[in-house]
Amino acid sequence: MVTKQTETAGAGTSTLEKKPRVFSGIQPSGNFHVGNYLGAIRNWVNQQSDFENSFCIVDLHSLSLATTRESMRANIRSLANVLVASGIDPRQSTLFVQSDVPAHSELCWILQSVTQYGELRRMTQFKDKGGGTDESVSAALFTYPVLMAADILLYDAEYVPVGEDQKQHLELTRDIAHRFNTRYGDTFVVPKPDIKKEGA
């Protein structure tokens, strides 16, 4: 957790002010729209000075659907440009690409050992994107929520800005963290959702 040192006037002592950690990710789908800005990016920008921020371009999540190397590279670069142009300040926040940090996929594998098959079957986004064709969708789409849990838990995030469509995934992340901590000892911070009314 980031700390900020401040001097107490006239006392010659210092206190440490801690900022809560925030993690949020966005897919480089190439389909960035005003809803992304109103629902997420605007809030990220406005809260930068209040938190220790990690904003991630989650390219591994994009692999759950068919794509090409060329379009993935172009979409990552384009999204990074949009985020910086929207006001994400690298001097205040960490902005990075998910696949540049191997620990995301490594932790995903470990967390699958405490994730139940039935929990993943109940994820509404899997049902929606799978379109009822379970036999032909990728396993990556099925385990997408576990990778999302790894993204969040890896950084000890206390808050996760999410829309209503991702709330179910965050609840699963909380369940996974609780289960892992119970089985192996206190390891992960159990994150809380940060859902804004505007743009939700």
Which ranges of 87-196 does DSSP label H, i.e. alpha helix?
A: 103-111, 117-121, 124-130, 139-153, 167-184
Give the span between the Cα atoms of 170 and 187, in whole angstroms: 17
∠ CA 137-170-84, nearest 5°, is 90
pLDDT at position 55, please? Answer: 94
pLDDT band at 14 (very low <50, low <70, confident <90, very high): very low
Name the average pLDDT for the chain. Answer: 84
pLDDT band at 16 (very low <50, low <70, confident <90, very high): low
Query: What are 52's strand-pairing partners?
Result: 21
**Per-domain boundaries in the chain:** 20-194
DSSP structure class, residue 92? T
Indicate the range of 2-6, 54-58, 126-130, 167-171 predicted with least confidence: 2-6
The answer to whether 153 and 25 have CB atoms below 8 angstroms apart is no
pLDDT band at 132 (very low <50, low <70, confident <90, very high): low
∠ CA 38-43-45, nearest 5°, is 110
CATH topology for 20-194 is Rossmann fold (3.40.50)
pLDDT at position 3, please? Answer: 39
> What length does the chain have?
200
Q: What is the pLDDT of residues 176-186, one digit of tens each?
A: 999 999 999 99
pLDDT band at 15 (very low <50, low <70, confident <90, very high): very low
pLDDT above 50 for 194:
yes
First to last CA, the chain: 28
- Beta-carbon contacts of residue 9 (< 8 Å; ≥ 6 apart): none
Give the span between the Cα atoms of 56 and 28, in whole angstroms: 10
The answer to whether 40 and 26 have CB atoms below 8 angstroms apart is yes
- Beta-carbon contacts of residue 123 (< 8 Å; ≥ 6 apart): 144, 145, 168, 169, 172
Query: What are 54's strand-pairing partners?
Result: 23, 94
Give the span between the Cα atoms of 125 and 27, in whole angstroms: 15
Give the span between the Cα atoms of 43 and 196, in whole angstroms: 8
Comparison of pLDDT for 34 and 130, the residue scoring more? 34
